[in-house]
Amino acid sequence: MDKMKVSYEAMLGLVAEMVLDEAVLKYRTDRLYQAIDKALASGDKDTFHRLTDELKTLNA
């Protein structure tokens, strides 16, 4: 029974880590899209290219 409890706790830990990773990825992606929109609105080509490259890397 203890072995089963340890396995269950390990699985819960992995699921929690996956949920956290997904939340951080979504937050970072949303922030990048906001910054890209701002760069587009201001006509800042260098920042736009840098941010879109970062977004591509993040989604790869």
pTM of the model: 0.78
Say yes or no to pLDDT of 1 above 60. Answer: no
First to last CA, the chain: 41
pLDDT in tens, 18-45: 999 999 999 999 999 999 999 999 999 9
H or E stretch at 1: none
Structure tokens at 27: 């937050």
Q: What is the pLDDT of the chain when averaged over all its residues? A: 94
Say yes or no to pLDDT of 60 above 80. Answer: yes
Say yes or no to pLDDT of 50 above 80. Answer: yes
